[in-house]
Amino acid sequence: MKPFHSYQNPSLAVDLVVFGYSKQQLAVLLLNRKEEPFKDRWVLPGAFLQMEERFRDTCSRVLKTKLGMDDVYMEQLYSFDEPERDPRGRAIAVAYYALVNPARVAISAGNMANDVAWFNIRELPKLGFDHHAIFEIALQRLRSKITYFPVGFELLDELFTMPELHELYECILDTTIDRRNFRRKIMDSEYIINTGNKREGAQNRHPDLYKFNKKLKKNSFQINV
């Protein structure tokens, strides 16, 4: 099916802000560009829409082919339209953000290894295009979202401990949260369930393992910053 509008339309791309959490650090996945423009600069992964392709499919394609990721949580963020955002010409970007558990994906393998890397969000390099602005909006959205909806679980293992969840929140929100009040709010929301089990073979202490309550859709909580 061909576009019907009279003039030449702008290029249309998706850009992805992929968040990962490990070792108590929030990180973003960046690609090192091998071509102009912005050669050798780090940028957000992205791709142009292919004919008939939907945004979400383009995102999945990027995550799959470039990064080897499947079944990733993602959400549309915002659409960017600055005329000068791409020096090659007019290009619209529809930005999505994604949450992945780095332990479950194998970025380090493959011939892309040198081109792809996780960066701690506090130590980002200078990014190409308008990707820094996109990243900032994504971070803002993530911070806002986890205070009232349990998206944070997407960044952890299926089973996780309360201290792990607590540290995740403190890390993303960049603040300290009282451990006991945090537990109460999360548990009151009924979004997570105590399995009663403990992690085995752990060198450390053995706190309870919790899991996300997928059946629940409407409850709410509010973590104040």
User: Hey, what long-range contacts does 153-158 have (CB within 8 A, 24 or more apart)?
Assistant: 153/192, 153/212, 154/73, 154/99, 154/100, 154/101, 155/19, 155/20, 155/21, 155/99, 155/100, 155/101, 156/21, 156/101, 157/101, 157/103, 158/211, 158/212
Position 141 contacts a second copy (CB under 8 A): no
Position 224 contacts DNA (CB under 7 A): yes
CB 99 within 8 A of CB 19: yes
Binding-site partner at residue 125 among a second copy, DNA, none, CB < 5 to 8 Å by type: none
Query: For a second copy, which is the closer residue by CB, 9 or 120?
Result: 9
Position 92 contacts a second copy (CB under 8 A): yes
Q: How far is the CB of 146 from DNA (least distance, A)?
A: 15
Binding-site partner at residue 52 among a second copy, DNA, none, CB < 5 to 8 Å by type: a second copy
3-state secondary structure of 139: helix
Which residues are CB-neighbours of 126 under 8 A, at least 6 positions away?
41, 42, 132
202, 214, 216, 219: residue in contact with DNA (rule CB under 7 A): 202
Q: How far is the CB of 32 from DNA (least distance, A)?
A: 37
Position 205 contacts DNA (CB under 7 A): yes
Position 48 contacts a second copy (CB under 8 A): yes
Position 91 contacts a second copy (CB under 8 A): yes
The residue assigned the tokens 């009924």 is 190
Interface residue list for DNA (CB under 7 A): 161-163, 178-181, 183-185, 194, 202-208, 222, 224
